[in-house]
Amino acid sequence: MAPRPPRFDAAADEVARTAAAAQDWAALAAAATPCVACPELAATRQHVVVGDPPARGRARFALIGEAPGANEDDTGRPFVGKSGQLLDQLLREAGLDRAEAAVLNIVKCRPPGNRTPRTPEVARCSGWLRRQLELLDPPVVVALGLSSATWFLGPRTVLAEARGRPHDVGGRAVWATYHPSAAIRFGPAGAPRAGLLADLTSVAASLR
Protein backbone atom coordinates (compact mmCIF):
# COMPACT_ATOMS: atom_id res chain seq x y z
CA MET A 1 0.00 0.00 0.00
CA ALA A 2 0.98 3.63 -0.48
CA PRO A 3 2.15 5.56 2.57
CA ARG A 4 -0.51 7.11 4.74
CA PRO A 5 -0.10 10.84 5.22
CA PRO A 6 -1.31 12.22 8.55
CA ARG A 7 -5.03 12.74 8.81
CA PHE A 8 -5.94 16.22 9.87
CA ASP A 9 -9.69 16.19 10.32
CA ALA A 10 -12.94 14.29 10.08
CA ALA A 11 -13.26 15.07 6.36
CA ALA A 12 -10.07 13.13 5.63
CA ASP A 13 -11.36 10.18 7.65
CA GLU A 14 -14.69 10.26 5.82
CA VAL A 15 -12.98 10.27 2.42
CA ALA A 16 -10.80 7.35 3.47
CA ARG A 17 -13.84 5.34 4.59
CA THR A 18 -15.83 6.15 1.45
CA ALA A 19 -12.93 5.33 -0.85
CA ALA A 20 -12.15 2.07 0.93
CA ALA A 21 -15.76 0.93 0.42
CA ALA A 22 -15.54 1.31 -3.38
CA GLN A 23 -15.32 -2.16 -4.90
CA ASP A 24 -14.19 -1.12 -8.37
CA TRP A 25 -13.08 1.88 -10.41
CA ALA A 26 -16.60 2.87 -11.45
CA ALA A 27 -17.81 2.88 -7.84
CA LEU A 28 -14.81 4.92 -6.73
CA ALA A 29 -15.30 7.48 -9.53
CA ALA A 30 -18.99 7.81 -8.65
CA ALA A 31 -18.12 8.37 -4.98
CA ALA A 32 -15.34 10.88 -5.68
CA THR A 33 -17.20 13.04 -8.20
CA PRO A 34 -19.43 14.86 -5.64
CA CYS A 35 -16.68 15.17 -3.00
CA VAL A 36 -16.79 18.40 -0.95
CA ALA A 37 -14.14 17.53 1.63
CA CYS A 38 -12.17 20.67 0.71
CA PRO A 39 -14.71 23.53 0.70
CA GLU A 40 -12.54 26.05 -1.17
CA LEU A 41 -11.69 23.59 -3.93
CA ALA A 42 -15.29 22.37 -4.20
CA ALA A 43 -16.53 25.94 -4.54
CA THR A 44 -14.17 26.89 -7.37
CA ARG A 45 -13.77 23.73 -9.42
CA GLN A 46 -15.72 22.74 -12.52
CA HIS A 47 -14.96 19.02 -12.32
CA VAL A 48 -13.45 16.52 -9.92
CA VAL A 49 -10.68 15.04 -12.06
CA VAL A 50 -10.79 11.48 -10.80
CA GLY A 51 -8.15 10.28 -13.24
CA ASP A 52 -7.87 7.81 -16.09
CA PRO A 53 -7.48 4.05 -15.68
CA PRO A 54 -5.48 2.35 -18.43
CA ALA A 55 -7.26 2.23 -21.77
CA ARG A 56 -6.57 -1.47 -21.98
CA GLY A 57 -5.63 -4.19 -19.53
CA ARG A 58 -3.98 -3.81 -16.17
CA ALA A 59 -1.95 -0.67 -15.50
CA ARG A 60 1.69 -1.40 -16.36
CA PHE A 61 2.60 1.83 -14.61
CA ALA A 62 0.97 4.90 -13.08
CA LEU A 63 1.72 8.55 -13.82
CA ILE A 64 0.85 10.70 -10.80
CA GLY A 65 0.97 14.49 -10.84
CA GLU A 66 0.09 17.19 -8.34
CA ALA A 67 -3.37 18.55 -9.19
CA PRO A 68 -5.49 19.44 -12.22
CA GLY A 69 -4.87 22.64 -14.14
CA ALA A 70 -7.33 24.78 -16.07
CA ASN A 71 -7.67 22.44 -19.05
CA GLU A 72 -8.11 19.45 -16.80
CA ASP A 73 -10.73 21.26 -14.74
CA ASP A 74 -12.58 22.14 -17.95
CA THR A 75 -12.58 18.61 -19.35
CA GLY A 76 -12.55 16.47 -16.21
CA ARG A 77 -9.53 14.53 -17.48
CA PRO A 78 -5.90 14.56 -16.30
CA PHE A 79 -2.94 15.87 -18.29
CA VAL A 80 -4.78 17.18 -21.35
CA GLY A 81 -3.27 20.70 -21.47
CA LYS A 82 0.22 21.78 -22.54
CA SER A 83 1.86 19.71 -19.80
CA GLY A 84 -0.10 16.67 -20.92
CA GLN A 85 0.84 17.20 -24.55
CA LEU A 86 4.51 17.35 -23.64
CA LEU A 87 4.13 14.33 -21.38
CA ASP A 88 2.58 12.36 -24.23
CA GLN A 89 5.46 13.35 -26.52
CA LEU A 90 8.12 12.33 -24.01
CA LEU A 91 6.33 9.06 -23.26
CA ARG A 92 6.47 8.22 -26.98
CA GLU A 93 10.15 9.18 -27.17
CA ALA A 94 10.87 6.96 -24.16
CA GLY A 95 8.98 4.00 -25.65
CA LEU A 96 6.05 4.08 -23.23
CA ASP A 97 2.38 3.85 -24.12
CA ARG A 98 -0.01 6.12 -22.22
CA ALA A 99 -2.83 3.65 -22.99
CA GLU A 100 -1.12 1.18 -20.64
CA ALA A 101 -0.87 3.71 -17.79
CA ALA A 102 -3.12 4.95 -15.04
CA VAL A 103 -2.98 8.77 -15.08
CA LEU A 104 -3.79 10.33 -11.72
CA ASN A 105 -3.15 13.31 -9.45
CA ILE A 106 -2.50 13.63 -5.74
CA VAL A 107 -5.36 16.17 -5.45
CA LYS A 108 -8.42 15.71 -7.66
CA CYS A 109 -9.68 19.32 -7.80
CA ARG A 110 -7.93 22.34 -9.27
CA PRO A 111 -6.61 24.71 -6.60
CA PRO A 112 -7.58 28.34 -7.31
CA GLY A 113 -5.02 30.05 -9.51
CA ASN A 114 -3.12 26.75 -9.83
CA ARG A 115 -1.59 27.30 -6.41
CA THR A 116 0.18 24.40 -4.71
CA PRO A 117 -2.28 22.17 -2.81
CA ARG A 118 -2.25 22.80 0.92
CA THR A 119 -1.27 20.06 3.35
CA PRO A 120 -4.83 19.48 4.67
CA GLU A 121 -6.12 19.26 1.08
CA VAL A 122 -3.55 16.61 0.27
CA ALA A 123 -4.50 14.72 3.43
CA ARG A 124 -8.22 14.86 2.65
CA CYS A 125 -7.73 13.69 -0.94
CA SER A 126 -5.27 10.92 -0.10
CA GLY A 127 -7.98 8.34 0.54
CA TRP A 128 -9.02 8.48 -3.10
CA LEU A 129 -5.48 7.94 -4.36
CA ARG A 130 -4.72 5.14 -1.92
CA ARG A 131 -7.81 3.25 -3.08
CA GLN A 132 -7.00 3.92 -6.74
CA LEU A 133 -3.58 2.35 -6.25
CA GLU A 134 -5.15 -0.62 -4.49
CA LEU A 135 -7.70 -1.17 -7.28
CA LEU A 136 -5.33 -0.63 -10.21
CA ASP A 137 -2.26 -2.17 -8.53
CA PRO A 138 0.43 -0.72 -10.84
CA PRO A 139 3.85 -2.28 -10.18
CA VAL A 140 5.59 0.97 -11.15
CA VAL A 141 4.69 4.56 -10.23
CA VAL A 142 6.14 7.68 -11.85
CA ALA A 143 5.78 10.56 -9.39
CA LEU A 144 5.72 13.75 -11.47
CA GLY A 145 6.98 16.73 -9.49
CA LEU A 146 7.85 17.39 -5.88
CA SER A 147 4.32 17.24 -4.46
CA SER A 148 3.84 13.77 -5.85
CA ALA A 149 7.33 12.65 -4.85
CA THR A 150 6.86 13.77 -1.25
CA TRP A 151 3.51 11.95 -1.05
CA PHE A 152 5.33 8.71 -1.69
CA LEU A 153 8.81 9.35 -0.29
CA GLY A 154 8.21 11.74 2.60
CA PRO A 155 8.29 15.48 3.29
CA ARG A 156 12.08 15.79 3.29
CA THR A 157 12.40 14.56 -0.27
CA VAL A 158 14.76 16.53 -2.52
CA LEU A 159 13.71 15.84 -6.08
CA ALA A 160 17.16 16.24 -7.62
CA GLU A 161 18.50 13.64 -5.17
CA ALA A 162 15.56 11.22 -5.38
CA ARG A 163 15.26 11.00 -9.17
CA GLY A 164 17.15 8.65 -11.47
CA ARG A 165 16.44 5.42 -9.61
CA PRO A 166 13.46 3.42 -8.31
CA HIS A 167 12.42 3.51 -4.64
CA ASP A 168 10.61 0.55 -3.09
CA VAL A 169 7.44 1.89 -1.50
CA GLY A 170 5.06 -0.78 -0.30
CA GLY A 171 6.26 -3.22 -2.94
CA ARG A 172 5.99 -0.73 -5.82
CA ALA A 173 8.89 0.81 -7.71
CA VAL A 174 8.42 4.57 -7.37
CA TRP A 175 10.39 6.82 -9.73
CA ALA A 176 10.46 10.49 -8.73
CA THR A 177 11.01 12.91 -11.59
CA TYR A 178 10.23 16.39 -12.85
CA HIS A 179 6.71 17.52 -13.65
CA PRO A 180 6.22 18.32 -17.35
CA SER A 181 5.22 21.87 -16.38
CA ALA A 182 8.80 22.37 -15.14
CA ALA A 183 10.07 21.06 -18.47
CA ILE A 184 7.93 23.67 -20.22
CA ARG A 185 8.99 26.44 -17.88
CA PHE A 186 12.70 25.85 -18.41
CA GLY A 187 12.41 25.19 -22.14
CA PRO A 188 13.50 22.43 -24.52
CA ALA A 189 17.17 22.78 -23.57
CA GLY A 190 16.49 22.87 -19.83
CA ALA A 191 17.53 20.24 -17.32
CA PRO A 192 13.96 19.29 -16.28
CA ARG A 193 12.97 18.20 -19.78
CA ALA A 194 16.16 16.19 -20.28
CA GLY A 195 15.82 14.66 -16.82
CA LEU A 196 12.16 13.76 -17.32
CA LEU A 197 12.91 12.05 -20.63
CA ALA A 198 15.88 10.20 -19.11
CA ASP A 199 13.76 8.99 -16.20
CA LEU A 200 10.89 7.88 -18.46
CA THR A 201 13.41 6.01 -20.60
CA SER A 202 14.71 4.25 -17.49
CA VAL A 203 11.16 3.35 -16.49
CA ALA A 204 10.57 1.88 -19.96
CA ALA A 205 13.72 -0.21 -19.65
CA SER A 206 12.60 -1.49 -16.24
CA LEU A 207 9.28 -2.68 -17.69
CA ARG A 208 10.80 -4.77 -20.44
Instruction: Give the separation between CA 28 and CA 179, rounded to whole angstroms.
Output: 26
pLDDT, tens only, 131-189: 999 999 999 999 999 999 999 999 999 999 999 999 999 999 999 999 999 999 999 99
Number of CB atoms found within 10 A of residue 116's CB: 14
- Domain residue ranges of the chain, discontinuous segments joined by +: 10-207
Rounded mean pLDDT of 33-46?
Answer: 97
Instruction: Give the separation between CA 175 and CA 102, rounded to whole angstroms.
Output: 15
Q: What is the largest CA-CA distance in the chain?
A: 46
The type of residue at 5 is P
Angle at 91 between CA 87 and CA 94, to 5 degrees: 140
All residues at 6 or more sequence positions from 147 whose CB lies less than 8 Å from its CB, including other chains: 66, 67, 106, 116, 117, 122
> Can you give the pLDDT at residue 9?
87
> Can you give the pLDDT at residue 31?
98
> Can you give the pLDDT at residue 4?
52
Instruction: Give the separation between CA 173 and CA 152, rounded to whole angstroms.
Output: 11
> Can you give the pLDDT at residue 57?
87
Instruction: Give the separation between CA 107 and CA 132, rounded to whole angstroms.
Output: 12
pLDDT, tens only, 83-129: 999 999 999 999 999 999 999 999 999 999 999 999 999 999 999 99
Rounded mean pLDDT of 20-48?
Answer: 97
> Can you give the pLDDT at residue 200?
98
Instruction: Give the separation between CA 187 and CA 102, rounded to whole angstroms.
Output: 26
CATH topology of domain 10-207: Uracil-DNA Glycosylase, subunit E (3.40.470)
37: nearest Cα among 65, 16, 51, 22: 16
Instruction: Give the separation between CA 59 and CA 207, rounded to whole angstroms.
Output: 12
Q: Are 115 and 148 in contact (CB under 8 A)?
A: no
> Can you give the pLDDT at residue 3?
52
The type of residue at 180 is P
Rounded mean pLDDT of 18-47?
Answer: 97
181: nearest Cα among 148, 152, 207: 148
Q: What is the pTM of this model?
A: 0.94
> Can you give the pLDDT at residue 108?
98
Rounded mean pLDDT of 32-59?
Answer: 96
> Can you give the pLDDT at residue 8?
60
